Each structure stands twice: as structure tokens, then as C-alpha cells.
Structure 1
Amino acid sequence: MSKLNIYDKDFYQWTIEQAKAIDERNLNSLDWENLKEEIEALGRSEYNAVVSLLLKEIEHLLKIDYVPIPECRNKWKAEAAAFKKNIARKITPSMKPKLESQFEGIFQDAAEVVAIEYEIELPQECPYNLEDLLD
């Protein structure tokens, strides 16, 4: 079975064989094209996880600040704190410039979700600072 067939038919086996080839420094046995794709996908996945957590943190802060349901505020505060802690565990320095460039869109997505959920008007511009959300 060729490397490509193993990758396509039995991904788990492919990972075992690739790890073994790396361990043995057997460069000729490495499936370079698929390794590259998998590494890139892993990076995208990690970045998207941080974006998702940031989106949820912003949603909860918007609920705290703009939704008039006081009995939910403590729950929303706890959830926002949990999202922030998870961001701190996952974020890397190289993610910050991309987050900065996409921050307005992330805020707009979060605001849209909260506005639909609670049928309220929210600010057009983000009232939160990205650095504060990440720290």
C-alpha cells in the first residue's frame, strides 16, 4: 500500500507510520505533502479554538453589560471567566496579530448572536479592548 493510500484509507495507521519514520529519522518514508497539510490544519484548528473562545467571552460580556436579566449575571461572569482562562491556555504570541486584524469581525459575530438571542440593540463598535480580553 502506498503512502497516499494509507493516508486515504487508514489515517490512524498513517499517523503511526509517520511517527515511526520520524523517530527513526527515515526521511524517505515520510509523506511530506500530507504531513505539511496536517501540520497546517493543526495550526488552523488551534487558532480557530481561540477565536471560538474569544467569541464566547465577548458574547457573555455583552450579556452582562446589555441584557437586563440580573439573575443571570453571575452565571455569565463565571462563564466569561472560564472562556478567558481557556484562551490563556491556548493562545500563542503568533496568534495575536491575526486576532487583532480579525477582532472587529469577531465582535460583530458575537454581537449578532446576542442581539438575536435577546432582541436587543448593541453598540456597533466593540466596547472591549482585545488585550483586556486576552489577559
Structure 2
Amino acid sequence: MHARDPSITPDYDQDFYAWLVYNAQLLREGRLSTVDAAHVAEELEDMGKSQKRALASHLRVLLIHLLKWRCQPQLRGPSWRVFIRNARDRIEAIVADSPSLGRLPQELFAQEYAKARKYAADETDLPLATFPETAPFSLDDALTEDFLPSEIA
């Protein structure tokens, strides 16, 4: 990698990484008047949105696999348990890093369940009606370490 000419301010649209490193250095040095504040603020907001999207994604993956576990007992196996455990761990880690997101899983539960239901139908090739329109388990159950739903009666 070539050394950057310190007299040239990196352009946000041309080299995002160089811009990021440069503005981080300006902040560390307390040179606030030189910081590209508008883009820094935009990036900070995007980071928050990214965390929310990641949380929603991990919740959806968890719900998909819990539904598959419930509706396809003959196919249950270690890989599904790994997906379930990993999704729970990722949700827990995101909330631990950003406790203010702790209420988000409850806010997203119904919305992500509706999506998970469709994905589960696609993945299993079972009719959508196989999967209940409302979750057959609570969010607390879904996030509980050892919870696995029982099969459909």
C-alpha cells in the first residue's frame, strides 16, 4: 500500500476507507473543525441501522429454524441446533454490546415471524399453511437457551 500524502484530504465518495481513517485521526487529535461532520454523522446513524438489521436477521434465522424443528421432526439434526444456538448467541451479543437495543426483539417479533414463516415454507417445500400464522411460541421461549419447540400434534 502506498503512503498517503497528508496534504490531500481523502474524498468520502472516492476512497471510503482512507476517508474513515483520516476522520478518525482528526477526532483523536481533537481537530473537530476539520472533521467531515455531515458524513461522520451519516455513518454513525448507518451503524445504528446496521445493528438493528443484524438483530432482525438473527431473530429471523432463529425463528426459521425453530419452525423447521417443530414441523420436520424427522429431519432434526445437529446443524439445526447449531443454527439455533448461533442465532441466540448473536442476538445476545448485539444486545450486550448495545443494551438500548434490548427492547427491539420484542418489537420485531411479529414482523420477523411473518417473514420466517415464508422462508421456512420455501426451505422445507411445505405449504405455508403448515406454519401457524402467529408464533406457536413466545419470544422468551425462542431466546431461551435449551428451548426447542415440540412437533405439531
Whether the TM-score (by the shorter chain) exceeds 0.5 is yes
State the secondary structure of the residue aligned to 2:63.
helix
| Map of 2:20 onto structure 1 | 15
Question: Percent sequence identity over matched residues?
Answer: 27
Contact kept in structure 2, 1:57 and 1:80, CA below 8 Å:
yes
Q: Cα RMSD between the aligned structures? A: 2.1
Number of residue-to-residue matches in the alignment: 133
| Map of 1:124 onto structure 2 | 133
Moved over 4 A (4+): none
| Map of 2:79 onto structure 1 | 75
TM-score by length of 1: 0.86
State the secondary structure of the residue aligned to 2:20.
helix
Q: CA deviation at 1:106?
A: 0.3
**How far, CA to CA, are the matches of 1:98 and 1:82 in structure 2?**
18
Over 3 Å counting, the alpha-carbon distance change for 1:115 and 1:36 in structure 2 is same
Contact kept in structure 1, 2:56 and 2:105, CA below 8 Å:
yes
Q: CA deviation at 1:75?
A: 2.6
Q: CA deviation at 1:72?
A: 3.0
Q: CA deviation at 1:15?
A: 0.9
* Aligned AA (1:124): E
**How far, CA to CA, are the matches of 2:71 and 2:33 in structure 1?**
59
2:92 aligned with 1:88: yes
Contact kept in structure 2, 1:56 and 1:83, CA below 8 Å:
yes
**How far, CA to CA, are the matches of 1:7 and 1:75 in structure 2?**
42
| Map of 1:44 onto structure 2 | 49
Which deviates further from its counterpart, 57-66 or 74-83?
74-83
Structure 2 gap ranges (5+): 1-6, 145-153
* Aligned AA (1:8): D
TM-score by length of 2: 0.77
State the secondary structure of the residue aligned to 2:132.
coil
Contact kept in structure 2, 1:55 and 1:107, CA below 8 Å:
yes
1:61-115 deviation line (CA, Å, top 9, x unaligned): 00111124x2434331222112111211112332233332222110000001112
**How far, CA to CA, are the matches of 1:102 and 1:73 in structure 2?**
27
Contact kept in structure 1, 2:113 and 2:135, CA below 8 Å:
yes
2:58 aligned with 1:53: yes
Q: CA deviation at 1:2?
A: 8.4
